[in-house]
Structure 1
Amino acid sequence: MDRQAIRASLLELLQLETFESVDHVTDATNLRTGLKIDSVDLLSMALHAERKFGIAIGSDEFEGVKTFGDLLNLLQAKIAARPKTKAA
């Protein structure tokens, strides 16, 4: 899955979580101050992302996540590290 597809999915999750427009969101947008996302919202988004992308995210992995770009980087790395499944 490429970065743009992950970005689109993450923006969709963000809009569902915050009920706000995400048109202004860039990689530099701060999750807490720019999007007013608290730790509960971030946890909820993480749970949705885990299900959507088939990944597992440890709570300690969020320590360095401050911006939308940080979150996108984390998801991209987790998705890239998923075990590859073979087609039947």
Structure 2
Amino acid sequence: MDRDKIVAIVDNFLVNEFEVDRDDIVNDANFKTTLGLDSLDYIDMVVIIESNFGVKLGEADFKQMVTFDDFYDAIENKIAEKTA
């Protein structure tokens, strides 16, 4: 799956499931501050990512994320690992 498709899917579920304003989703914006998610939201996000991409992000993955680019990278890397 190419990065543009990953970004489109992620942005779509952030807007629809987490009610994030699409204009706030900027590659270098702070991921955690922009989303303002609580721990239950992160669990929901893990489930949505797994259902959309067939990969699972863990707590360690989220701790390393600063920007939306980091978030997209993490998903892209997990997909690459799975298909390798």
TM-score band, normalised by the shorter chain?
0.7 to 0.9
Q: 1:67 to 1:59 in 2, by over 3 A?
A: same
TM-score (norm 1): 0.79
RMSD between superposed Cα atoms in Å: 1.8
- CA displacement at 1:21 relative to structure 2: 2.5
- Structure exhibiting the larger radius of gyration computed from Cα positions: 1
TM-score (norm 2): 0.82
- CA displacement at 1:24 relative to structure 2: 3.5
User: In 2, distance between residues paired with 1:45 and 1:23?
Assistant: 20
- CA displacement at 1:9 relative to structure 2: 0.3
Percent of paired sites with the same residue: 31
Q: 1:29 to 1:43 in 2, by over 3 A?
A: farther
The structure 1 segments of at least 4 consecutive aligned residues displaced by more than 6 Å after TM superposition are none
Q: 1:27 to 1:66 in 2, by over 3 A?
A: same
Find out whether 1:46 has 2:46 as its counterpart. Answer: yes
User: In 2, distance between residues paired with 1:67 and 1:17?
Assistant: 19
